[in-house]
């Protein structure tokens, strides 16, 4: 953010249209303002030789997988955890989503969970354990409690921490050494990021969602396109999104290589936060909103790079390969490796098709799947469940499909049950599970078998990500639901109308 580089057009991006008449640094972007407000100590020097800034961290989220070695590091060095009151832990990655009242069967998993419990007790960290009403995926729990707010710095030993950027926070994933660093000092030494605007203008067509926006962004700029940048999602299509949908977009910033993605706080943000457990109240609320509004990117601020995406023409998007950048519109065909420009991309495509057992040129919609997974920190919030339930309600599941519905948090599960969504999914023939990361990452009992093919609302289609030998197609919740009905990758527009119950039936035809 300190570099005086001119904006660059990225792969396929239009020529940037930013004003260059104002000198740089007078007007700031959202990310730059949040950064500015957290500098404990400015690094000396310029450019490559610059020391990092020391940045204050407002909220540290913890889970069982990336924290045990950090706690151990504190213990060995005899250091206290500096701010337990800015730290919160939950159990999510490793936890089963069935029989959660029983001891965890896998001994290593059980040990890791128990280690988190012991560490939190020893260091005074608030922990939401399995069975607790606030337990769930760390990136669902934080916003839900109102703990992630605009203008905050938020970190977690998990790359999908970018999710929290949806409320206008600067939120990013860190490694275990950094987890220990934040525990000990509540700060991180960091070099400023560059800024990239992702402008999405227009109106999404029915059946097209925020998941399709972010999958299209990743396909456009590539898995490395965002490296070194904080992304700011802007434009009318982003403004129109709900908070749940915005979280889906920011969540997958890391899949474009960016550690963080943000959306400027607006009335939708404030409406979402108001009344949440840890949101400010009364006069504090007014003061907070005033500050939050002041953080938005100024009209004449410059980004280091800009990308443009047309929401009007966007279709449901799906991945065909083994990284999230290998995606196409659902109505397209599996691409031909020969059509890729450079040898490395061609080799990567060939390898991906072999792993995915797909033939170049076959329509994506002809791909038959075995399993549908609705869940993960990308798409397990109440709106995701509602959207999928609206598709499956009154319809029949393909008998060969196994469908898992895994709410992102115990709170989301309760909310869904209060609305009767559990019944909708169970009547449809899906499994209704307890909250957790589940089948997103293959480290708890929910895993694909070798060769099994899954339409998944999660975030990564890496080889073996959902279980050794498993094959993943990343999709939106409504595409997941439509796929569970037809058995092949499908969009809601491929479905026949729902058969109305006899008493209200008029002209609907039987499918």
Partner 1 sequence: MEKFSTHTGIGVPLRQSNVDTDQIIPAVYLKRITRTGFEDALFSSWRKDPEFILNREPFVSGSVLVAGADFGTGSSREHAVWALKDYGFKAVLSSRFADIFRGNSGKQGLVAAEVAQDDIELIWKVLENAPGTEVTVDLVAKMVTAGSVVAPFQIDDYTRWRLLEGLDDIGLTLRDEPAITAFEAKRPPIKPTTLPAKF
Residues forming beta bridges with residue 402, ordered by sequence position: 371
Contact window for partner 1 (CB under 8 A) among 203-211, 276-284, 295-303, 497-505: 276-284
The owner of tokens 């092949």 is 488
| Among the listed residues 32, 92, 180, 304, the single contact to partner 1 using CB under 8 A | 180
Distances (CA, A) of 252 to 124, 246, 259, 268: 32, 10, 10, 20
| Among the listed residues 90, 94, 135, 195, the single contact to partner 1 using CB under 8 A | 94
Contact window for partner 1 (CB under 8 A) among 184-192, 208-216, 475-483, 503-511: 184-192
Does position 336 interact with partner 1 (CB under 8 A)? The reply is no
Does position 441 interact with partner 1 (CB under 8 A)? The reply is yes
| Among the listed residues 29, 87, 163, 491, the single contact to partner 1 using CB under 8 A | 87
Helix (H, G, I), strand (E, B) or coil at 54: strand
Strands (E), 431-503: 431-432, 453-456, 471-474
Does position 58 interact with partner 1 (CB under 8 A)? The reply is yes
CA 149/CA 422 separation, integer angstroms? 30
Does position 88 interact with partner 1 (CB under 8 A)? The reply is yes
**What residues have CB less than 8 Å from 85, skipping those under 6 apart?**
none
Does position 68 interact with partner 1 (CB under 8 A)? The reply is yes
Task: Please list every residue from 373 through 432 that binds partner 1, using CB under 8 A.
Answer: none
Give the helix/strand (H/E) hosting 173. Answer: strand 170-173
Angle between helix axes 421-428 and 382-392 (nearest 10 degrees) is 40
CA 386/CA 424 separation, integer angstroms? 10
Does position 487 interact with partner 1 (CB under 8 A)? The reply is no
What mask of x and - would describe binding to partner 1 in positions 38 to 57, judged by CB under 8 A? --xx-x----xxxxx-x-x-
Closer to partner 1 by Cβ: residue 168 or 207: 168
Smallest distance from partner 1 to CB 403, Å? 22
CA 253/CA 231 separation, integer angstroms? 7
Does position 496 interact with partner 1 (CB under 8 A)? The reply is no
Give the helix/strand (H/E) hosting 257. Answer: none
Which tokens sit at 117?
Answer: 């419990």
| Among the listed residues 17, 23, 103, 344, the single contact to partner 1 using CB under 8 A | 344
Does position 158 interact with partner 1 (CB under 8 A)? The reply is yes
Contact window for partner 1 (CB under 8 A) among 16-24, 78-86, 333-341, 418-426: 78-86
| Among the listed residues 30, 34, 152, 439, the single contact to partner 1 using CB under 8 A | 152
From the centroid of its chain, how far is CA 194?
A: 21
Smallest distance from partner 1 to CB 501, Å? 40
Does position 240 interact with partner 1 (CB under 8 A)? The reply is no
Closer to partner 1 by Cβ: residue 127 or 388: 127
Can you count the helices (H) and strands (E) in the chain?
A: 15, 20
Sheet of strand 153-156, all strands in order from the earlier edge strand to the far edge: 126-128, 87-90, 59-62, 153-156, 170-173
Does position 333 interact with partner 1 (CB under 8 A)? The reply is no
| Among the listed residues 12, 131, 224, 497, the single contact to partner 1 using CB under 8 A | 224
Contact window for partner 1 (CB under 8 A) among 174-182, 235-243, 373-381, 480-488: 174-182
Closer to partner 1 by Cβ: residue 71 or 233: 71
Nearest residue to 407 via CA among 429, 374, 431 = 374
What mask of x and - would describe binding to partner 1 in positions 22 to 41, judged by CB under 8 A? ------------------xx
Does position 63 interact with partner 1 (CB under 8 A)? The reply is no
Rg (CA), the chain: 23
Name the DSSP letter for residue 136.
B
| Among the listed residues 129, 185, 242, 331, the single contact to partner 1 using CB under 8 A | 185
Smallest distance from partner 1 to CB 163, Å? 13
- Are 307 and 7 contacting, i.e. CB atoms less than 8 angstroms apart? no
From the centroid of its chain, how far is CA 136?
A: 14
CA 152/CA 169 separation, integer angstroms? 5
Does position 106 interact with partner 1 (CB under 8 A)? The reply is yes
Contact window for partner 1 (CB under 8 A) among 83-91, 389-397, 412-420, 490-498: 83-91
Does position 291 interact with partner 1 (CB under 8 A)? The reply is yes
From the centroid of its chain, how far is CA 32?
A: 22
How many chain residues are in contact with partner 1, going by CB under 8 A?
Answer: 89
CA 72/CA 489 separation, integer angstroms? 46
Does position 108 interact with partner 1 (CB under 8 A)? The reply is yes
Does position 351 interact with partner 1 (CB under 8 A)? The reply is yes
Does position 259 interact with partner 1 (CB under 8 A)? The reply is yes
Task: Please list every residue from 445 through 484 that binds partner 1, using CB under 8 A.
Answer: 460, 462-465, 468
Distances (CA, A) of 201 to 245, 298, 310, 356, 438: 16, 18, 6, 33, 34
């Amino acid at each position: 953010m300190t570099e005086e580089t001119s904006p660059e057009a990225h792969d396929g991006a239009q020529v940037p249209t930013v004003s260059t008449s104002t000198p740089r640094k007078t007007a700031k972007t959202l990310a730059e303002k949040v950064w500015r407000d957290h500098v404990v100590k400015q690094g000396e020097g310029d450019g490559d030789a610059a020391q990092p800034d020391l940045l204050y961290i407002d909220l540290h989220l913890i889970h069982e997988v990336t924290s045990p070695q950090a706690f151990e590091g504190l213990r060995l060095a005899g250091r206290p955890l500096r701010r337990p009151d800015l730290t919160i832990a939950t159990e999510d990655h490793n936890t089963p989503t069935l029989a959660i009242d029983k001891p965890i069967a896998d001994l290593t998993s059980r040990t890791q969970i128990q280690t988190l419990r012991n560490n939190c007790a020893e260091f005074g960290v608030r922990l939401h354990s399995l069975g607790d009403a606030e337990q769930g995926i760390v990136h669902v729990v934080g916003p839900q409690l109102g703990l992630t707010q605009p203008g905050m710095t938020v970190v977690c030993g998990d790359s999908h921490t970018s999710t929290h950027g949806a409320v206008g926070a600067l939120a990013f994933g860190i490694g275990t050494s950094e987890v220990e660093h934040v525990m000990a000092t509540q700060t991180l030494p960091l070099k400023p990021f560059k800024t990239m605007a992702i402008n999405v203008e227009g109106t999404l067509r029915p059946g097209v969602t925020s998941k399709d926006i972010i999958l299209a962004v990743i396909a456009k700029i590539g898995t490395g396109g965002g490296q070194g940048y904080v992304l700011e999602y802007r434009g009318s299509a982003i403004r129109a999104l709900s908070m749940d949908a915005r979280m889906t977009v920011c969540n997958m910033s890391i899949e474009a290589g960016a550690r963080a993605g943000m959306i400027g706080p607006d009335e939708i943000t404030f409406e979402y936060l108001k009344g949440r457990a840890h949101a400010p109240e009364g006069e504090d609320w007014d003061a907070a909103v005033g500050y939050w509004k002041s953080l938005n990117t100024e009209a004449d601020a410059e980004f280091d790079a800009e990308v443009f995406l047309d929401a009007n023409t966007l279709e449901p998007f799906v991945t065909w390969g083994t990284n999230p950048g290998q995606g196409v519109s659902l109505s397209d065909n599996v691409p031909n490796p020969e059509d890729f420009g450079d040898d490395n991309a061609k080799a990567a495509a060939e390898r991906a098709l072999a792993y995915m057992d797909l033939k170049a040129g076959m329509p994506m919609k002809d791909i038959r799947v075995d399993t549908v997974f609705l869940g993960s920190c990308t798409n397990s919030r109440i709106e995701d469940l509602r959207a999928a339930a609206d598709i499956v309600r009154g319809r029949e599941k393909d008998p060969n499909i196994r469908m898992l519905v895994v709410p992102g948090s115990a709170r989301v599960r309760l909310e869904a049950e209060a609305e009767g969504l559990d019944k909708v999914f169970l009547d449809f023939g899906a499994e209704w599970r307890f909250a957790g990361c589940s089948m997103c990452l293959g480290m708890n009992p929910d895993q694909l078998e070798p060769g099994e093919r899954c339409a998944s609302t999660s975030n990564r289609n890496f080889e073996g990500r959902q279980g050794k030998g498993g094959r993943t197609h990343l999709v939106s919740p409504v595409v997941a639901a439509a796929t569970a009905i037809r058995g092949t990758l499908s969009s809601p527009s491929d479905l026949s109308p729902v058969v109305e119950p006899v008493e209200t039936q008029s002209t609907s035809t039987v499918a």
